[in-house]
Structure 1
């Protein structure tokens, strides 16, 4: 049995704990604080990749990690989007679409769990990278608006597309489960 207290889970907890620091840095006035917020955001984003890799590579996957990792991810991305919307830098509809998709997919996964698990898709990983890139461009001072808008538009497009993919995968999972019960 793998201990809950391992390096992968420690990184997940650290990512969750650093979210308030990121939020404070983002709201403090001044370019230096903005760059500090960007650094914290990028370090936290990198820990998401690192903790997953460590867990799979060294057999450190735990039930705690399966639950805490997506919570930490959503806390980081969600807080960044909400804060940037509060600052008037990202439209609220963008924040609403991304957060609604994340909550919807989470609820969908729970709704079909008795039929099986919907694993993370390659598209979901691309979505995460695009969201991180777009958010980073909004945090980074002086990035041209066209670069920010383009990155966020692509992130929103992939976010919606992968959300629809999860819906179709959930429907297929339920259909397969029904057929196997009927057989």
Structure 2
């Protein structure tokens, strides 16, 4: 159980409350520090997967905890940016992204129980959605449009990437649903 990938995943779970507390601290760079913690957590997500493949350290615990860790930190970040920006332009994609995650999690669980988990495994579009979503959240959490007097448009890019992630999210959900549709329509013997 105590493999390097699992330790990184567990670290990501433990970073969730730290991330939230730091973000809401009453000091000047709290949002940027929170964005940095979120970025660090996103990097650990990539590394735990890479190391699990590279070192052959796949475990049932890691397979369970990795998606939970992802959803915890991303869900917290989506709620935080929706609160911070208090705008429909952020709240609507945040709700759509969280709803999609719940829907796909339930669909994957149901398909696994039906012996069809390969039908809804992660696709390239899902990975592209995750990348756009992570970058969007880092930009929005940081609230940086300028850095050391240089205009960097990080928040503006965050808004654009959040909507791109939402579009990719809906697209990938439709693909997963179409793959699972014939199994959802099968009548049960019970």
Q: TM-score, normalised to structure 1's length? A: 0.87
Structure 2 counterpart of 1:133: 135
Write the mapping of 1:19-30 to structure 2, written as runs, cut at 5 A: 19-30=16-27
Note the C-alpha offset of 1:140.
1.7
* 2:64 paired with 1:64: no
Note the C-alpha offset of 1:149.
2.1
Write the mapping of 1:12-23 to structure 2, written as runs, cut at 5 A: 12-23=9-20
Gapped regions of structure 2 (runs ≥ 5) = 146-152
Runs of 4+ in 1 over 3 A off after TM superposition: 88-91
Residue deviations 1:56-109 (CA, integer Å, cap 9, x gap) = 111111111111000000001100001121223553222210111000001001
Q: TM-score, normalised to structure 2's length? A: 0.84
Structure 1 counterpart of 2:98: 99
Structure 2 counterpart of 1:160: 170
* 2:79 paired with 1:82: yes
Residue deviations 1:155-182 (CA, integer Å, cap 9, x gap) = 111111111111112225x39xx8xxxx
Structure 2 counterpart of 1:147: 157
In structure 2, distance between residues paired with 1:86 and 1:151: 18
Contact 2:35–2:141 (CA under 8 A) maintained in structure 1? yes
Aligned to 2:23, the other structure's residue is in SS state helix
Aligned to 1:28, the other structure's residue is in SS state coil
In structure 2, distance between residues paired with 1:148 and 1:41: 14
In structure 1, distance between residues paired with 2:133 and 2:57: 27
In structure 1, distance between residues paired with 2:83 and 2:29: 20
Structure 1 counterpart of 2:124: 122
Contact 1:89–1:138 (CA under 8 A) maintained in structure 2? no
Aligned to 2:85, the other structure's residue is in SS state coil
> Per the alignment, do residues 54 and 128 of structure 1 end up closer, same or farther by CA in structure 2, a change over 3 Å counting?
same
Residue deviations 1:44-67 (CA, integer Å, cap 9, x gap) = 000000001111111111111111
Note the C-alpha offset of 1:142.
2.8
Contact 1:25–1:34 (CA under 8 A) maintained in structure 2? yes
